[in-house]
Amino acid sequence: MDKIAFVFSGQGAQHPGMGRDLYLNDAAAAEIFRRADAIRPGTSAQCFEGTEEELAQTANTQPCMFAVELAAAAALDEAGIRPQMAAGFSLGEVAALAYAGAVSFEDGFRLVSLRGRLMQEDAEECDGAMAAVLKLDAGEVERLCAGYKRVYPVNYNCPGQISVSGAKDELEDFIKAVKAAGGRAVPLKVKGGFHSPLMARAAERFGEALRDVSFSEPEIDLYSNYTALPYRGSYAELLSRQISGPVRWQAIIENMISRGAGVFVELGPGRTLCGLIGRIDASVCTFNVEDMKSLRETTEALSAYKA
């Protein structure tokens, strides 16, 4: 039987009202929001009532997404659906750590809140941005980036799609170069040049904070954005380097599939990761949970996979 993998959404998938349906209709999900509000008052209100602009602020996006993702996971747990492995995209990796028991919910929520604040501070100082490059292979994108002082390939999402980060002034010229090379570049809904050297200060400061965190062995296989492999060695180092290093999403999914994953469930708003996974390997099944409708559909489809 194919193994189930949970994947936790990244920044950019957020939207006003996210998580509200789960909060109103699922007791386990509602409890997650209550725990988040106890640490960071107003988190659930931001998720349910915040404007698009408010939710796009990195310091708000990350704790809000964490809460929605863990609420969706709690609802699936209550329904008896458990995975054998997990990964998260960027901020989603912190949610995956908490879900897998590598850190407590409380420590994970505090960490993702700090992470969001630090990354927003760096973003405001560096005036960076991101774009997804389509229709060009990784080598061509890397070659184009090499022609700029502060443009970097950062998220290796799937075949034919790599996200780049860079200083806004250089990124504008880079987008023109992509078009000239036969590709297309789509600006991303984030406010910073994440997973690049533009985030070096945030990565260093986050690493300092991680020294005081107690990590445990995860209860399931947990994959690192930085290495694309199951967590080994210093968790603090992996998490801090992830902030200023590339997300190797395609390699993560390929490695999970090679270890038996055939069913992927995206936790959090939207189906961005489902789309990427389908382009990496169309033979696997993908589901998502972000509200009661998707929870019911996923639970019914995966009833045969209950432990």
Q: What positions carry a catalytic annotation?
A: 90, 195
Structure tokens at 231: 């967590």
Burial 261-271 (b: 16+ CB within 10 A, else e): bbbbbbbbbbb
Which of 197, 176, 83, 100 has the alpha carbon at shortest distance from 131? 176
Pair type for strands 285-289 and 261-267: parallel
Which of 261, 264, 260, 258 has the alpha carbon at shortest distance from 286? 264
Phi, psi values for residue 155, rounded to 5°: -115, 110
Residues 6+ apart with CB under 8 A from 269: 9, 13, 14, 15, 18, 19, 65, 68, 290
**DSSP assignment of 216-266, as one string?**
---SSEEB-TTTSSB--S-HHHHHHHHHHS-B-HHHHHHHHHHTTEEEEEE
Query: Which phi-psi region, left, alpha or beta, contains residue 201 (left: φ > 0; alpha: ψ -120 to 50)?
Result: alpha
